[in-house]
Amino acid sequence: MARNVIVVGTQWGDEGKGKVVDWLTDHAQGVVRFQGGHNAGHTLVIGGQKTALQLVPSGIMRPGTACYIGNGCVLSIPDLLREIDKLEAAGIEVVSRLKISESCPLILPYHVALDLARELKRGSAKIGTTGKGIGPAYEDKVARRAIRVADLLKPDVFAEKLKQNMDYHNFVLENYLGAEPVSYKKTLDDALAMVPRVKPLIADISSALNKAYAEGANLLFEGAQGSLLDVDHGTYPYVTSSNCVAGNAAAGSGIGPGMLHYILGITKVYTTRVGAGPFPSELDTTVGIGKHLSTVGMEFGTVTGRPRRCGWFDAALLRRSAQLNGLTGLCLTKLDVLDGLETIKICVGYKVDGKVIDIFPSNADDVVRCEPIYEEMPGWKENTIGTKRFEDLPQNAQNYIHRISELVGRPIAMVSTGPDREETLVLQHPFKEAGQ
């Protein structure tokens, strides 16, 4: 019987989901992106060759795998086409294997203009968005004025919806944000010029996924960002504009929750985040351990290139993610970054206003007041890169992994011991029933 797996980030994104999705795709016939836009980036290393993806699902790196962009995503057509062209120039067949939901809201130039102008107006209080128009596009969706992919197939309908939206948004740009308006004619002409290339990709993704599953296909659902960036459950307002948690795989792709069988949480063995917002276990990345994590871990954003903030592993944060996602198991990534450290710390809880708590608060204002409580463990000197068997890891590394599992209350299914596809250690394969 077919088995479906969801891969979600459990921290603030950048956990290494792309590599894990690519590795798991060996057992899947279809890979689905169910939320986010081209603000998310997945970096894959296959045979030493690095590829950065933004919109196209990571399964595209496996020949013959079908790839789907679900209705929960917001779509910048120019960025999608540029990504397709880049992949196909590298010899990867994309067009025949990629389908996009007719219900995806479009990201248009005025969304980008709004995003940039708002961040500028906020000044030092800015949220730290990628400036790619993601938030404003989701706002239009919720306000029921989004222009969707299907509208591109009806030029007259598209033109009228575009005019109404641009009259409204240009008024805000000029009169509230003090920014230049966006050209209606250029936006219309540029969008319609792309229709011939986009039309063959448009599909009813819900029907396509249900049909594939009924025919025996294993499906892999690929989340973007991380659980603590979820618009409802993250460190609001320092979050993204979509639901990143596993439950949105159903709503964001048009399948029933009963079709989701295994939820794999991807977790760095330390913690990072990009942009503003509270971060209890954060370290100074200019010195000491913080600098080690930043430099050895090469912690720079896939899409933005921004340096990531780094800190010790936070088990209390992971407890919150395990709760939010209903995690079946964990995949630990970047274990090799800790090689050579004398001592490793784990945040096991916090002091907040004189009280001790053992789970990440649901309110960002409370997170700001959290003082981390650390537990120390001995590190290891040996090199873990490329280790294929758990028992071949240094004993202290094994102890660290066991302690993470114990603190979070979830089994460790996989451990990534390097960036390459093959540098993966498997304890329980998500696509196989326990004991198989």
Helix or strand run (H / E) with residue 161: helix 155-175
Name the DSSP letter for residue 150. G
CA distance 208 to 324: 28
Name the DSSP letter for residue 419. S
Which tokens belong to 279? 């971060």
Name 433's Cβ contacts closer than 8 Å, sequence gap at least 6. 3
CA distance 367 to 430: 32
Cα angle value 421/333/241 (rounded, 5°): 100
Which tokens belong to 269? 């063995």
Determine whether 14 is an active site residue.
Answer: yes
Give the count of beta carbons closer than 10 Å to the beta carbon of residue 206. Answer: 18
CA distance 137 to 114: 10
Which tokens belong to 11? 């921290």
CA distance 356 to 347: 12
Determine whether 42 is an active site residue.
Answer: yes
Catalytic residue, chosen from 38, 42, 169, 233, is 42
Residue type for position 57: P
Sign of CA dihedral 421, 23, 52, 135: negative
| Catalytic positions, written as ranges | 14, 42
